[in-house]
Every structure is written in C-alpha cells, then in structure tokens.
Amino acid sequence: MSSAPRTHSSYTFAVTTPAEKAPYLTDRLQGFGTTIFTAMSALAMETGAVNLGQGFPDTDGPIEVSQAAVAAINAGHNQYPPLAGLPVLREAIAHHRQHHRGQIFDPDGEILVTTGATEALAASLLALTGPGDEVVTFEPYYDSYAAGIAMSGATRRVVTLRGSDFAFDPDELEAAFTPQTKLLLLNTPHNPTGKVFNRTELELISRICIERDVLVVVDEVYEHLVYEDHDHIPIATLPGMAERTITISSAGKIFSFTGWKIGWACGPAELIAAVRTAKQFLTFASGGPWQHAVATGLHLGDDFFDGYTAEMAAKRERLCAGLEAAGFDTIRPQGTYFATVDIRSVGATDGIEFCMALPHTAGVVAVPTQVFYDNEDEGRHLVRFAFCKKDEVLDEAARRLLATEAF
Ligand code: PMP
Ligand code: GLN
C-alpha cells in the first residue's frame, strides 16, 4: 500500500500512502490530499472540457422540494434544528423506508439526520471504531471510506471486486476478517463500479458478519438508481442483520440536490445513539430549511421515484452507446449514475495518465478508478464516466470521444 501522490494544478490527490509528507497534516491523514472529484472538476474548469467526472446532476431536482426549502426559509425556520433532525423529517424518513423497503424504524431513536451521507459515514466510523479495530470494505471504495477509517484510527482491510461483474472471492472475504474486525463497510449500489450486490452475495456477507459478530455500515445512497432486472436489497432486511446494521442515505442523491448536504442513518437505537454522540461534536445539527424540504420530497409519490430511475436508465444507455461507438469496452452499470470503461480497448493502460490527458486529447473529464484501490494495479485500466448530465452534454461528450483519433 504505497504510491506517490499525483499532482495537478494546486491539487494533490492520492488515497494511498504518499512518498512525501504534507506539511502540518497529521500522520493519520497523510496521503489523502484533495479528493479526485475536486481535482477533476478543477481540471474541467481550467480546460473547458465536458465534466463527466464528479458525480452531481446538472439539473435541479423536483420543484415542489426546492419550493419547500424557500418556504421554510421565509417561514423563519432558520435556527438550529434538533440534534437528531427535525421530527417532521424523521417521520418522513421512517415513511420512506417502510414504503420503499418494508423496513420499520422508530423516528424517535432509530433515525439520525446528518450533514450528507458523508457525515453519517464519518460519524459512524468515529463512534464505532478506533485504534486496534479493523474495518473490512470492498475495493474500489468510495474515497471518504478510507479517510473516515483513518480519522477513527482503525485499520482498513480490503477485498477486491474483479471482472466485468465486479465479483468478490468468498475465500478472500472470509480471510479479511480477523479477531480485530469490528465493522464491515458496504456500499450497494456501488460507487464507482455500478455493481448492485445480489442476494447470494449479501447472504454470504451476512453469514460471516453474524458468525464473527461484526457490525455493518451500509451506504445505500444510490438505492433508487437500479436498472433492468437488478434489485436493491437492503442488507438490514436479511435475517439477523437489522440488529447489527446502520443504513445510510443521502437526499443529495435521491433528489438531485447534492449541495444541500442532508443525509441520514437508520438502525437500532443503541447504534444510532453512539453515532449521534459523534455527530453532535462534528456539526451538532444539519441545515434546517433543507430538512423541511427533504421531508416534503420523501412523501412524493412513486411516480417521482420511478420517473427518476427511468430518466437515469435512459441516460445510462445514451452514454454507454456513445462510449461504445468511440471504441471503449464499456461495463453497463447495474446501478448508480456511473459507467466504467476498460481503457485497454483504446490502447491506453494507466487510468490516471489517461484521465489527465483526456481533457486535452478529447475535451472530456472522467475519473480514474484506480485511485479508489489500495491495490492500484487491480484498477489501473478502469475509468469512470458520470451520466447524471443533460442529454446534450452526454451527446457532446460522446461526439468528442468519437472524433478523437488517439487517446
Ligand atoms: N457515498 C457514496 C457512495 C457517494 O457516492 C457519495 C457521493 N454523493 C456519498 C456517500 C456522499 O453523499 P453526500 O453528498 O450526501 O454526503
Ligand atoms: N459522490 C460523488 C462522486 O462519486 C462526488 C462527491 C464529492 O465530490 N465528494 O462523484
């Protein structure tokens, strides 16, 4: 686990141990630099390239929801909301989980509103793990996982997802667990690969976690973005799992308001109480007006949620067809709003070099998947493109890629 930090403009990004130390930064955070998303969006700004890097929609979410935020501000809901979140939002979260997933959570004690899923993840790791503990997760992993584990002082152990279906080897998973394993950090639908863990995989993971008495934190921020015949199965609904699982969601992802930074964690009262203790000293409370608005959103009818999935499914097809036409071997994601290509199909080998050059060769920005691995070689050939963008933006990116003679 060692690699030099990569530098572009004023940003250094790396998720593994750097060769040189960053001044002032505590040892726990050496190597984290600036996130790849910030670095790549900066590159897009500098070069004027089409930005299919950072995963944020370029259109607003439902108007009823944004109007509810404006109304909340104008109604004077502008002081600290309660630490656990507004009751009206916790009720709406309970409704959403029951209606869409059949899960029952008590708004009073089993639901905690956070400042995005990012805070829910960090607060869970800080509350539940510490030095001497180990956290198992799959690589590639969403970048804040490694940083959150590092901030808590725990040690991460990764299990690699491989092949076009991003499968894992059950023996490798079993071997990653030790007597020090405290927690498994799972993400389904999975960023950056788009994998949706199936029932067989989730049952296997559950069996091991129950046998080893390990807690689970599951990041389900893309739960409404699952395509074709794939199903999102909350691991907390499997036998023996509700009592050991914290489920994390993001209004930014559900409603395409990523700048609002409202998320939540649901789970057994004792686990949520622990996370609440950490959360209160990170931010205490999370944006009041947005909480009112998200409560409105969670009561929207199925037509909204189905329409959102259908809209992203069409964009998935649009971008994947464009990538294929440009000569890329493309992995159609089962979920999320990210598609992955194998750059060896266009004669490239190193994702970071490829993504650094792409704004110049093609006028497009993408994200090198290899930065999400401890074992970088496993993902060197993979690059992620986001398709949560206007059709004309996706078409322009596809046109530019098709017109590129050499990458
Ligand atoms: N988890 C995953 C898998 C993500 O892709 C993201 C990015 N939205 C987050 C967590 C963070 O979510 P939020 O913006 O709500 O903090
Ligand atoms: N989750 C988004 C992505 O994967 C980025 C969020 C961020 O910039 N931190 O692209």
30 close to ligand 1 (CB < 6 Angstrom): no
Task: Find residue 265's DSSP bridge partners.
Answer: 112, 248
35 close to ligand 2 (CB < 6 Angstrom): yes
Residue 9 has pLDDT above 50, yes or no: no
189 close to ligand 2 (CB < 6 Angstrom): no
> Tokens in use for 198?
């199936």
Residue 14: pLDDT band (50, 70, 90) is low
- Once rounded to an integer, what is the mean pLDDT over residues 47-62? 96
What is the pLDDT at residue 12? 56
Strands 382-386 and 367-368: antiparallel
Burial of residue 337 (number of CB atoms within 10 Å: 0-12, 13-18, 19+): buried
Residue 326: pLDDT band (50, 70, 90) is very high
Q: Is residue 1 part of a domain?
A: no
Rounded to an integer, what distance in angstroms lies between the CA atom of residue 292 and that of residue 299? 12
Continuous segment of H or E residues that includes residue 107: none
Residue 255: pLDDT band (50, 70, 90) is very high
The ligand 2 atom at the shortest distance from the C-alpha of residue 144 is 9
- Once rounded to an integer, what is the mean pLDDT over residues 219-223? 98
Q: Roughly how many angstroms between the first and final C-alpha of the chain, as a whole number? A: 29
What is the pLDDT at residue 294? 98
Do 145 and 37 belong to one domain?
Answer: no
Do 145 and 251 belong to one domain?
Answer: yes
Residue 2 has pLDDT above 80, yes or no: no
- Structural domain harbouring 30: 6-60+304-403
187 close to ligand 1 (CB < 6 Angstrom): yes
Do 257 and 399 belong to one domain?
Answer: no
How many domains, in total, are found in the chain? 2
> Tokens in use for 37?
């998303």
Do 221 and 355 belong to one domain?
Answer: no
Do 70 and 54 belong to one domain?
Answer: no
Q: What is the CATH number of the domain that holds 124?
A: 3.40.640.10
Are 129 and 184 in contact by the 8 Å Cβ rule? The answer is no
Continuous segment of H or E residues that includes residue 70: helix 63-74
pLDDT tens, position by position, 345-382 = 999 999 999 999 999 999 999 999 999 999 999 999 99
Do 131 and 205 belong to one domain?
Answer: yes
Length of the chain: 407
Rounded to an integer, what distance in angstroms lies between the CA atom of residue 54 and that of residue 360? 18
Do 193 and 106 belong to one domain?
Answer: yes
Which of 253, 283, 290, 294 best tests ligand 1's pocket when mutated (most atoms within 8 Å of CB)? 253
54 close to ligand 1 (CB < 6 Angstrom): no
Q: DSSP characters for 214-238?
A: -EEEEE-TTTT-B-TT-----GGGS
pLDDT tens, position by position, 385-402 = 999 999 999 999 999 999
Report pTM: 0.96
Strands 263-266 and 111-114: antiparallel
Q: Whose CA is nearest to atom 12 of ligand 1?
A: 117
In the listed set 248, 264, 298, which residue is the last one of a domain according to the structure? 298
The ligand 1 atom at the shortest distance from the C-alpha of residue 56 is 8
Residue 10 has pLDDT above 80, yes or no: no
> Tokens in use for 231?
């199903």
The ligand 1 atom at the shortest distance from the C-alpha of residue 222 is 3
Local structure of 153: helix, strand or coil: coil
What is the number of the ligand closest to the CA of 366? 2
Nearest alpha carbon to residue 364 among 333, 388, 395:
395
In the listed set 242, 265, 298, which residue is the last one of a domain according to the structure? 298
Kindly give the distance from the C-alpha atom of residue 55 to the centroid of ligand 2, in angstroms, as a whole number: 5
What is the pLDDT at residue 6? 52
Kindly give the distance from the C-alpha atom of residue 370 to the centroid of ligand 2, in angstroms, as a whole number: 15
Kindly give the distance from the C-alpha atom of residue 250 to the centroid of ligand 1, in angstroms, as a whole number: 7
Helix axes 302-325, 391-403, angle to 10 degrees: 10
Are 121 and 145 in contact by the 8 Å Cβ rule? The answer is yes
> Tokens in use for 392?
């004309």
What is the pLDDT at residue 33? 87
Rounded to an integer, what distance in angstroms lies between the CA atom of residue 56 and that of residue 47? 19
Residue 190: pLDDT band (50, 70, 90) is very high
Query: Scanning the structure block, which residue is given the tokens 């991003």?
Result: 166
- Once rounded to an integer, what is the mean pLDDT over residues 204-233? 98
Higher pLDDT, 57 or 7: 57
Nearest alpha carbon to residue 121 among 271, 232, 275:
275
What is the number of the ligand closest to the CA of 115? 1
Residue 3: pLDDT band (50, 70, 90) is very low
- Once rounded to an integer, what is the mean pLDDT over residues 28-52? 93
What is the pLDDT at residue 41? 93
Strands 364-365 and 50-51: parallel
Q: What is the CATH number of the domain that holds 54?
A: 3.90.1150.10
Q: Whose CA is nearest to atom 2 of ligand 2?
A: 55
Residues in Cβ contact with 332 at an 8 Å cutoff, skipping those fewer than 6 apart: 194, 227, 316, 320, 339
Residue 21: pLDDT band (50, 70, 90) is confident
In the listed set 264, 298, 332, which residue is the last one of a domain according to the structure? 298
What is the pLDDT at residue 74? 98
Please list the alpha-helical segments (H only) found in 283-348: 288-298, 302-325
Helix axes 87-101, 288-298, angle to 10 degrees: 30
> Tokens in use for 38?
């910030």
pLDDT tens, position by position, 73-111 = 999 999 999 999 999 999 999 999 999 999 999 999 999
pLDDT tens, position by position, 273-303 = 999 999 999 999 999 999 999 999 999 999 9
What is the pLDDT at residue 20? 74
What is the pLDDT at residue 11? 53
- Once rounded to an integer, what is the mean pLDDT over residues 256-262? 98
What is the pLDDT at residue 140? 98
Averaged pLDDT of the chain: 95
263 close to ligand 2 (CB < 6 Angstrom): no
How far, in whole angstroms, is CA 61 from its chain's centroid?
A: 18
What is the number of the ligand closest to the CA of 54? 2
Q: What are phi and psi of 257, to 5 degrees?
A: -125, 70
192 close to ligand 1 (CB < 6 Angstrom): no
- Provide the 8-state DSSP code for 286: -
Do 41 and 83 belong to one domain?
Answer: no
252 close to ligand 1 (CB < 6 Angstrom): yes
Do 47 and 73 belong to one domain?
Answer: no
271-308 in b/e form (b: 16+ CB < 10 A) is: bbebbbebbeeeeebbbbbbbbbbbbbbebeeebbeeb
Residue 5 has pLDDT above 50, yes or no: no
Rounded to an integer, what distance in angstroms lies between the CA atom of residue 84 and that of residue 90? 8
